[in-house]
Amino acid sequence: MEQLPGIIGGYRIVREVGRGATATVYEARHPSFSEPVALKLIRFGDDSSDGAKLNRRLLKLLRAEEAVALRLNHPNIIKIHKVVVEPEQAYVIMEYFPGTTLERYCSFERRLPVHRVIGIIFKCCMALDYAYRHGVVHRDIKPANILMDENDDVRITDFGLALNVNKKVEADSTFIMGVGSPAYMSPEQIKNYPLNQKTDLYSLGVVMFHLLAGRLPFRAANPAQLVYKIINVDPPFVSHLNPDVSEQMDMVIRKAMEKDLYSRYKNGAEFAKDLSAVRYKIVDENDAQLDTSRFSILRRQAFFTEFDDVELWEVLRISVWRNVPGYVKLIKEGDTEQRFGVLLEGRVELSVKGRRVMELGPGTIFGELAWLDRLNHRQPVSVVSLEPLTYLEINPAALLLATEEMQDLFRREVASVVAHRMGALALVHAENCGAATEATALTTSGFATSRSGWRLVED
């Protein structure tokens, strides 16, 4: 067994967690930080012409990975902290994620249940959609570059081959065919055509096929035959290889793997939307799939009426499901914590300076005012649970990582709830106030604006 390096750049190497042709990944710790990190160590080649060529390529991949790290901050993309290049080696310090690659589940005997595969690919879709909206195409999506833990949490890694879509194509000369297997490459990638986000969606479709079927869609005796099939032959239906796969799921995979770019999914969100439509109809063998059950609960809530299925799945991904007993202070008046809750079951009380303001029940929100207050971000009321309750905790920092469409939905729905609540409070307050000032017969329709203000409009 090879001896561990010991210490690299101040990081103590704990154990080896993965090894490739040019790099080894270790779990490492730094005395200044409590959390472990992953350290990817790249050793450069010798001084020969081949070695020098390899070194140049490795440096280019490292620079690309570092550039991507500055752009992307998504819960399903591995976070890179820094890249260090030394004369004989380089290393990348990144988020430590205690999972395994999807390669583990690509064999027939280790196939995952259909609903789990859909959940995994859904998260990848949203991560790739986020990356493309930030100008990045991965270009090397395959099981080895997707990590998953025991809770089906997912991380996409290895953005060394990523394409900067804001650069001119001629300026990006990263050599594709020399890295990895062509089995997951899109037809346009093999042809060396200009690429956009659709190449990643094709590759993700191949990954999904592999996970569900336990084999690749195209198998051949040699690389030339494989390339021919990818460009010219339609993949088989997954349902012919796995009876648990529905015809609707077949159509989703076929669309992801369309050779015609105009017929393929246009973005990750569209791919994810079709996945959610299939997933909603699926339960596991015990009819107790947790996230499907939670999805159903959200679907019944008035607050989420305007949310599409794909947006509801995204809500589940970025939020935290909370269960708390009665008489717990959830929010303290004056706090700057901006998290707010969507109340699903139970009742809460809102109070100011020890005086009760109102009571809220299921289907509404609480704690949203600090998020809406862009100046002070302070909670104007305290919130206490009146009985055991269930609510969805929304962290605005996580909400910023969601799609722009979903952020707009939250802003609109929260504003609508606040408007109705203010109206109700005004009505209650009016009961304890004096009579209103007597109005004249004229209304604002009887006035017109001028530079000096309002003036009366005469017939």
CB 374 within 8 A of CB 411: no
The number of C-alpha atoms within 13 Å of 348 and in the hemisphere containing its C-beta is 29
The crossing angle, in degrees rounded to 10, of helices 114-133 and 268-279 is 160
Q: Are 309 and 277 within 8 A, CB to CB?
A: yes
Residue 305 falls in which region: left (phi positive, over 0), alpha (psi -120 to 50) or beta: alpha
CB 257 within 8 A of CB 233: no
| Catalytic position from the list 129, 140, 158, 274 | 140
* Residues contacting 357, CB < 8 A, separation 6+: 350, 351, 381, 425
Nearest of 18, 41, 40, 38 to residue 27 by alpha carbon: 38
Q: Please tell me the distance from the alpha carbon of residue 211 to that of residue 209, in angstroms, as a whole number.
A: 6
146 in Cβ contact with 101 (< 8 Å): yes
Tell me how far CA of residue 103 lies from CA of 144, 214, 409, in angstroms: 6, 10, 37
* CB atoms closer than 10 angstroms to residue 431: 6
Buried b vs exposed e over 184-221: b needs ≥16 C-beta within 10 Å? Answer: bbbbbbbeeeebbbbbbbbbbbbbbbbbbbbbbbbeee
Provide the 10 A C-beta neighbour count for residue 321: 15
d(CA 330, CA 384): 6
**Cα-flanking dihedrals φ and ψ of residue 149, to 5°?**
-100, -175
d(CA 194, CA 176) in angstroms, rounded, equals: 12
The count of C-alpha atoms lying within 13 angstroms of the C-alpha of 245, restricted to the half-sphere facing its C-beta, is 25
Rounded to the nearest 10°, the torsion over CA 216, 217, 219, 224 is -120
Radius of gyration of the chain (CA): 27
Angle between helices 114-133 and 198-213 (to 10 degrees): 170
Active site residue 46: no
- Name the burial class of residue 38, with classes exposed (0-12), middle (13-18) and buried (19+) by CB atoms within 10 angstroms of its CB: buried
Give all strands (DSSP E) within 288-385, no chain letters: 320-324, 329-331, 340-345, 348-352, 355-360, 365-366, 382-385
Q: Which residues are catalytic?
A: 140
